[in-house]
Amino acid sequence: MKWRGRRETGAAPGPGPATTDRPSGDGLPRVAVITMSRDSGPVLRRWVEHYQRQLGPDDVFVVDDHSADGSTDDLPCTVLRLPYLDKYSFEPSRMGILSGLAKSLLFAYDAVLLADADEFVVADPAVHASLRHFAAARRGTDVAGVLGYNVIHRIGVEQALDFDAPSLLRQREFARFTPLMCKPALKWVDADWAHASHGIRHPFAPDPELFMFHFKFADLGQLELLAEHRHQAAVVEGRAVKSSWSRPTDEIVEALRTAAAQVEQAVAADEIGKFRPGPKRLETIVQNEGDLWRATGAGQHLALVKPPYVRIPDRLRDLV
C-alpha cells in the first residue's frame, strides 16, 4: 500500500475512549472524512472539494480501489492506493479497510466521517456553520446518523449536471427521503461499520440537523455509466453480488425515469412532502440486531419510485 499526499501516518496501539476534543487552532474539533472509490468519475473531485471546505484541506482521505478512469489522479488530498481486492470478498474487505483506517485516524482526529464518493454530508446552516461546528455541538456523542436523501434528476426539465459549476444542488430541486440511507456516518469512537456502511456495531440515531445528499440518481448520463460499470464488476468479478451492483443497467435507469415522471406529477398536483421527517418516524429507522445497529427500509431503487418527494430547502443548496 502506498500513501500519496501531504500527511503520513504511523502505527499506534489503539485509540482509547473519546473524552475531550483535541482542539485545532480555531478551537473546533478536528474531523477527518474517508471514502473508498473506484472509477467514480467527475463527482469524486467535487466530493474532495466539498469536504475540504467543510473540514480542512488536509483532512480528506480517499482510498483508491484500483481505479482506471483517472478520477483519483492528481487529487489535492491524501490518496491511499490499494492493490486489486481479491484476498477476501469485496464487502468485508471494504468495511474492514475503512473501519481500520478510521480507527487509525482517531489517534489524530476527534471524529471521522465516512461517505461514499457521491454522498455529500452537510449540517443545517441555520444552526451550524460547518460540519466541524456540528461536531463541536455534539460533544459527548459516540455516533451520529444522517438524514439521507436521494437527489433526483428531473429528466427533460433539468440539464445534465455541470460538475464545474459553483453549486451542484442549485442544478437540482427535488429529492426522496430514504430511511435506508440514514447511515451512521460520523463517529467519535472506535466502532466497526457494517452492512455496506448502513450499520455500525454501536448504538446510533439519525440526527435531524445532519443531512446527506446522495447523487447516484442526480444525473441520468452518470447513472448509466456507473450502473453499467458496477453491473460488469458484479457479473465478471463477483463484486457485491447481493447489492444493487448486480442489477441490469436498464432496470436502474428505469427507476430514475419513473421517479422523475412522478416528481412532475407531484409538482403539478402540489403534493410535495415535508423535507424533514418528524421525530416519531426517525425513531423507527434504526434497528438493533445483536451487537449491530443499522438503518432499515426499502432498498434505494424501490424507495425511489414511491412518493412523497421533497423540495430541497434553499438554505442548503449552496452548500453542495
pLDDT, tens digit, for every residue of 220-235?
999 988 776 665 555 4
> Is the pLDDT score of 19 beyond 90?
no
The pLDDT, as a whole number, for residue 71 is 86
What is residue 13's predicted lDDT score, i.e. its pLDDT? 40
**CA–CA dist 25, 109 (Å, integer):** 13
Query: Is 69:52 a contact under the CB 8 Å cutoff?
Result: no
From 57-66, 157-166, 261-270, 295-304, the region with the lowest mean pLDDT? 295-304
- Angle (deg, nearest 10), helices 249-268 and 220-237: 150
Tell me the C-alpha distance between 60 and 51, whole Å: 7
Q: What is the mean pLDDT of residues 300-307?
A: 86
Q: Identify the weakest region by mean pLDDT among 57-66, 231-240, 264-273.
A: 231-240
Give me the pLDDT at residue 236, please.
52
β-strand pairing of 193-194 with 174-177:
unpaired
Residues 6 or more apart from 23 whose CB is under 8 A from it?
Answer: 29, 30
Q: Mean pLDDT over residues 100-108, rounded? A: 98
Q: So what's the pLDDT on residue 85?
A: 76
pLDDT higher than threshold 80 for residue 8: no
- Per-residue pLDDT tens for 225-265? 877 666 555 545 555 545 555 567 788 899 999 999 999 99
Residue 137: the pLDDT is 98
Look at the block and give the residue holding cell 473501519. Answer: 99
What are 35-49's pLDDT values in tens digits?
999 888 899 999 999
For residue 295, the cross-strand partners are 286
Q: Where are the domains of the chain?
A: 31-316
pLDDT bracket for residue 15 (50, 70, 90)? low
The answer to whether the beta carbons of residues 285 and 206 sit under 8 Å apart is yes
Q: What is the mean pLDDT of the chain?
A: 88
pLDDT digits (tens, 9 = 90+) for 187-206: 999 999 999 999 999 999 99
Please tell me the predicted confidence (pLDDT) of residue 5. Answer: 35
Alpha carbons 144 and 10: distance in angstroms, whole number: 27
